Amino acid sequence: MTSDVPIEFLAFGSRRFRKAGVPGKFVRVIFDGNMLALVGDNEVIRRFHAEDIERIRVGYEESKYGKYFQTMMWLKGTEEPLILKPGEGNSDWKYGEAIRAMGALLAASGGLVKVERGVSKFSALLQMILLCIPAVFYNSVAIMLANEYDWYYWLGAGSLFWLLAGVFIWQYFARRKPRPVSDLKDLEWQTPGPNFRI
């Protein structure tokens, strides 16, 4: 279901927005149910209809400071996506509302294949790799010290990293791996809102 009332939020500006002709530290994003408008400094406006958008990928990154939501939007005829990241104030909630409505519009116009969930492939794999490296190291040391009295300390440390790696491997396939959504409700896993789930 698309929105009949325009939804507006602030997104962080970037080099890609400037390259697309929308300058500014922040960009106003307005979705009216049929069209997405980006408004930059000096009221420079670019408008996009569903047929202008190749696909979107909705997801978020995590850190000790919280969750950082983002939507990657590929326009037809371009290789680099525009990345919508909610800015200040109540932008997170408005962002979530707008992205879910935009996902519904794109799915109605071109099918669920135009709506993906997850983050970049590089970002999704990086955390797993960084945890697997120390896990392999500690277990290798434990094997080399198999006849020494402290080998089990190394094995224990390696097992802890494998456990953490297992969590990230599960997250990769459950949430972070880029893929088309199977249902629009999948976007509730990826956007802030009343039904947001981890």
The residues near 163 (Cβ < 8 Å, ≥ 6 apart) are none
Whether residue 78 sits in one domain with residue 29: yes
Three-class DSSP category at 177: coil
**Alpha-carbon distances, residue 170 vs 49, 84, 131, 167, 174 (angstroms):** 36, 26, 13, 5, 6
Specify whether 105 is located in the same domain as 135. Answer: no
**Residues 163 and 134 occupy one common structural domain:** yes
Q: Is 5 exposed, middle or buried (0-12, 13-18, 19+ CB in 10 A)?
A: exposed
Query: Beta strands of 64-153 (E only): which ranges?
Result: 66-75, 82-84, 115-117
Report CA-CA distances (Å) from 104 to 88, 107, 111, 154: 25, 5, 9, 51
Residues 82 and 148 reside in one and the same domain = no
Using one digit for the tens of pLDDT, what is the confidence trace for 96-109?
Answer: 999 999 999 999 99
Predicted confidence (pLDDT) per residue in 10-49, tens digit:
999 999 999 999 999 999 999 999 999 999 998 889 999 9
The count of domains in the chain is 2
**169 pLDDT exceeds 80?**
no
Q: Which domain holds residue 110?
A: 7-117+180-189
Shared-domain flag, residues 135 and 92: no
pTM of the model: 0.76
